[in-house]
Structure 1
Amino acid sequence: MRGLVVPIAIAFASVGTGAPAAQPISYVHLTTERPFGRDNALYDFTFLSRTDDFQSALVFFNLNGGIRYGCGVHANARCTLHAAGQTLTLVGLSNGIDGSFAWSGNAARDNYPLEISIGLRADEAALAGFESSIQLVSPVPEPAAWAMMITGFGLAGAACRRPRRFSGAGCPCCRAG
């Protein structure tokens, strides 16, 4: 009988303590611009509070291929994650998050980023105090583009170094009488 009374007493004690329930996590979804015709892309995003009361957040990157990954970031902390050819870098500020997302295409499927989800332990009304933005900065150059650019510089340099020969045959001032 004693073995039954203790679990029941613990159950009543936990119900009757009136401990505050944890606030649900509310999400802001930032839709990314699709990198048409690119194998690589770089996205920058910010999530800033107007009231400077930022503590921490969860950041998830949702890719078209069904992959979802991310990490938590706290004020005055840094998080870098490398997964599935993607690189996520987050910096926690005193008033929010500054981050970047380097995407590399996967030959197996079109695995471009769909959106970035930022979750806070706050109600929906508190999210009105945050400003967020995301933009496709510029493509990350591919190795073939680097090779072509270096070859072009080399050919331009070689053309500049080559001595020019001048023959007076085509010049009317140089013809003899």
Structure 2
Amino acid sequence: MLLAAWLLNSIRLAAALGIAILAMQAPAVTREYQAALLQLVRSSDEDIAQRKASAQRFYNIPTDDEARFIARLRVIEPSNAETLAGALEREKSLHTSYEWIERKPDLLRPMAAARDVFSDDSGVRRQIAQTVFESYAPQLDLSFAAVIYGLAGLFLGTLIGELITAAVAPRRQRPAV
């Protein structure tokens, strides 16, 4: 009886703490996702600048207006123009995502990042998120957002622990005194 009660309490505690620690990772994972977005934006900027410089050097096309630059390059080299247009679009999209998440308060950034990943039709952001999760090392973040997420995880974990223990060992009716 004592061992069973101890085991059930341990299950409740493990569920509560496990989900709390997991929930506390949300702000740190979001920062990693934002850093990956920013890194891709910067590398795309460099790639685009090199392509523009190359096209300007070989074809003497002014790079002031992107639309006009792409249109003139499309006449000379349609394949290169198409790839450059795709790179420009991707860079703008990733930059918009980064800025959108960055403008949110710290507490809402994990939800904004999740929405950004799940609303992506192209799958690029899902690949970025997958890479972030594969390379992520758990952290102990004591920021305000992490503490709030940890408390929410603690409450949710407690509820889940109670549900698990209720399913495993239904409570017995106590005799009336």
Q: Which has the higher helix share?
A: 2
TM-score range, shorter-chain basis?
under 0.3
Normalised TM-score (structure 1)? 0.26
Bigger strand share: 1
TM-score normalised according to structure 2 size: 0.26
User: Over alpha carbons, which structure has the higher Rg?
Assistant: 1
The answer to which structure, 1 or 2, has the higher relative contact order (CA under 8 A, 6+ apart) is 2
